[in-house]
């Protein structure tokens, strides 16, 4: 997938092709593994991070890490493209995070509200350490003060889709990260 558009979704412009994502994740996994986390627990924030997290944990395995994995379903966006400003738990974790070294994985760091909400929640439950890892670090002013410890890619202030990320429930299945073409945005 190196073309600028996929024939099947001409309204989506490719920003990061599948092979570029795969290559970047191997390096990212090595950087994370170098932190020597003891009994690491990956917490994937759903829904948007499910594809990223699935590929990341396998890249982590290849680089020598054996994380446990749990999921936290949060909602801040609802149906609109702009953050509502309040984050809710739609489905909580199954596992206890007490004393654990948590790698918190999300798709996009935008206003920062979602990541801060998840970090605060996990910290309040007694995690030993929380590292954050996002697929896309948007270079925009944050509404709250937070930075990702690890990020695969950066983007400008534009709405990204694919590789797990949606707009109105569409495009999660795309194997690449794209942006909505100008006349669709």
Shortest CB 92 distance to ligand IMP, Å: 16
Contact flags string 25-64 toward ligand IMP, x per CB under 6 A? --------------------x--x----------------
**Angle formed at CA 135 by CA 48 and CA 145, multiple of 5 degrees:** 95
Tokens standing for 146?
């937070």
Minimum separation from the CB atom of position 130 to ligand IMP (A): 16
Single out the catalytic residue among 92, 110, 120, 149. Answer: 110
Q: Decide: is 129 part of the binding site for ligand IMP (CB under 6 A).
A: no
In the set 106, 122, 133, 135, which binds ligand IMP (CB under 6 A)?
106
The owner of tokens 């299945």 is 173
Residue 165: CB minimum distance to Mg ion, A? 8
CA 11 to CA 181: how far, in whole Å? 5
In whole angstroms, the minimum distance from the beta carbon of 142 to ligand IMP comes to 8
153 binds ligand IMP (CB under 6 A): no
Quick check: is 19 catalytic? no
| Of the candidate residues 57, 104, 165, 180, the single one contacting ligand IMP (CB under 6 A) | 165
Question: Long-range contacts for 166-172 (Cβ within 8 Å, ≥24 apart)?
Answer: 166/47, 166/48, 167/81, 168/79, 171/9, 171/12, 172/47, 172/51
Distance CA 13, CA 7 (A): 10
CA atoms within 13 A on the CB side of 99: 1
Which residues sit at the interface with Mg ion, rule CB under 5 A?
A: 48
- One DSSP character per residue, 28-61 reads HHHHHHTT--SSEEEEEEETTTHHHHHHHHHHHH
110 binds ligand IMP (CB under 6 A): yes
| Residues carrying an active site annotation | 110
Residues in the site for ligand IMP, rule: CB under 6 A? Answer: 45, 48, 76-77, 83, 106-115, 159-160, 165
């Amino acid at each position: 997938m190196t073309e600028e558009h996929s024939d099947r979704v001409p309204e989506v412009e490719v920003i990061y092709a599948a092979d570029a994502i795969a290559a970047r994740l191997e390096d990212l996994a090595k950087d994370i593994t170098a932190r020597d986390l003891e009994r690491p627990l990956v917490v994937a924030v759903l829904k948007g991070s499910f594809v990223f997290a699935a590929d990341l944990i396998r890249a982590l395995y290849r680089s020598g890490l054996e994380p446990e994995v749990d999921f936290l379903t949060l909602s801040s966006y609802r149906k609109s493209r702009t953050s509502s400003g309040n984050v809710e738990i739609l489905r909580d974790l199954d596992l206890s995070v007490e004393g654990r070294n948590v790698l918190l994985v999300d798709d996009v760091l935008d206003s920062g509200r979602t990541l801060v909400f998840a970090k605060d929640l996990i910290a309040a439950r007694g995690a030993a350490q929380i590292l954050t890892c996002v697929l896309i670090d948007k270079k925009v002013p944050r509404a709250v003060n937070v930075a990702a410890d690890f990020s695969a890619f950066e983007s400008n202030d534009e709405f990204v889709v694919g590789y797990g990320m949606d707009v109105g429930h569409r495009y999660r299945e795309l194997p690449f990260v794209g942006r909505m073409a100008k006349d669709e945005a």
